[in-house]
Copies of this chain bind each other. A is one copy, B any other.
Amino acid sequence: MQSQKKSAIQPERDIGKQLRAVGITPTQQRVQIAEILFARPQHLSADQILASVNSLGTTASKATIYNTLGLFARRGLIREVIVDPVKVFYDSNTSTHHHFFNLDSGELTDIDADKVVVTNLPELPGDTQLEGIDIIFRVRSSHPHEEN
């Protein structure tokens, strides 16, 4: 035992194991990114993650952020949410759920899967397999809506 605090949880270790479990070598940057994402269920942009990582002493380049997020997404650790035409959100909640997207604030919030019931799924186009279903409720903050 390498004389380390032992009572404290060791998120690095845990997260390292989790990453290894899905075949990802837990490098410093990846662990850092994972810690930020998995601190709680949330929706973050690549930019926000870059800023978080770099404000915590650790550093990671933009390329690494994108590489890592892509990797995590392909491995099913996070989910890409495409609702904002200018940027992708990375959702650390991978259980089935849907989203509200506030067009005015750009805010993204979760909707529990059981709040929406979808029946009668359409049959898929020939030779395709389903990757996922995204259900997005686009809302606006209620103020007399200007239209022009």
**Taking beta carbons and an 8 Å cutoff, which residues of A are in contact with B?**
74-75, 80, 82-85, 87-88, 98, 100, 102-103, 109, 111-112, 114-122, 124-125, 127-142, 145, 147-148
Establish whether residues A139 and B128, one from each chain, have CB atoms under 8 Å apart when the complex forms. yes
Residues of B near A111 (CB, < 8 A) are 122
Establish whether residues A131 and B140, one from each chain, have CB atoms under 8 Å apart when the complex forms. yes
Count identical subunits in the complex: 2
Establish whether residues B103 and A131, one from each chain, have CB atoms under 8 Å apart when the complex forms. yes
Known: A85-B82, A147-B74. A139 touches B124 (CB 8 A): yes
Residues of B near A115 (CB, < 8 A) are 120-122
8 closest cross-chain pairs (CB), A and B: A115-B122, A128-B139, A117-B120, A131-B138, A134-B136, A117-B119, A132-B138, A111-B122
Establish whether residues A129 and B142, one from each chain, have CB atoms under 8 Å apart when the complex forms. yes
